[in-house]
Amino acid sequence: MKRHAQGLTLIELMVVVGIIAILATIAMVSWGNYVRRSARSDAMAALMDLRVKQERYRFTSPSYANRVQYSSVFQPAGDPLPALSPNRKYLIDVATASVTGFTATAAPQGSQDSQAERDECGGSATFAVNQEGPVMGGAYASAGCWKR
C-alpha cells in the first residue's frame, strides 16, 4: 500500500511566501504615498489659516505682516502667526509682504522633503499662498498637488 504524503511541498510554500512579500511591498508603497499626501493637507490648512490671519492683520495695519512666530500652535486672533504647521511637517514663512500683497510658503521638513514628493508635485514640494489664494506651478507645487 502506498501512502500519499499530505501537506505542502517546499516549492508551494515558497510560492505562497513570495506572493505575500509582493503584496506587502505594494501595501507599504501605497501606505507611504497616503501618509505623504495626508501631510500635504497640513500645509494647505496652515497656509489658508495664515491667509485669513494676514487679512485680519492687514485690516488694522498699513501692510501685511512680514514674519511669523516660531510656534507649532496657532495663536488666537491678534497674536503673531505660526511658523510650523500643526503636525510639524512644514515650515511656514512669509516670503514677501507689502501694502498690496504677500506670499507665504510652506516648505516640507524631515521625511516630507523627499524626491518622491518633489516628483509628484511638479518639481517642487513647497506650497505657497498669496492674498488671492493658492499659488500653483513655477517655483511652487503644481495645481495637481493642491488637489490631491
Sketch the domain layout of the chain as residue ranges: 10-147
What tens digit of pLDDT does each residue of 11-36 get? 999 999 999 999 999 999 888 878 87
Mean pLDDT estimate for the chain: 80
Residue 27's Cβ-side half-sphere holds a number of Cα atoms within 13 Å equal to 6
The mean per-residue pLDDT over the stretch 115-130 comes to 77
What pLDDT is stored for residue 58 in this prediction? 86
The mean per-residue pLDDT over the stretch 119-147 comes to 81
Say whether pLDDT at 3 is over 90.
no
Identify the residue with better confidence: 117 or 27.
Answer: 27
What pLDDT is stored for residue 144 in this prediction? 76
What pLDDT is stored for residue 17 in this prediction? 95
Identify the residue with better confidence: 101 or 111.
Answer: 101
Backbone φ and ψ of 86, nearest 5°: -55, -40
- pTM for the full model? 0.69
What pLDDT is stored for residue 73 in this prediction? 44
What tens digit of pLDDT does each residue of 56-88 get? 888 888 888 887 764 444 444 455 555 888 788
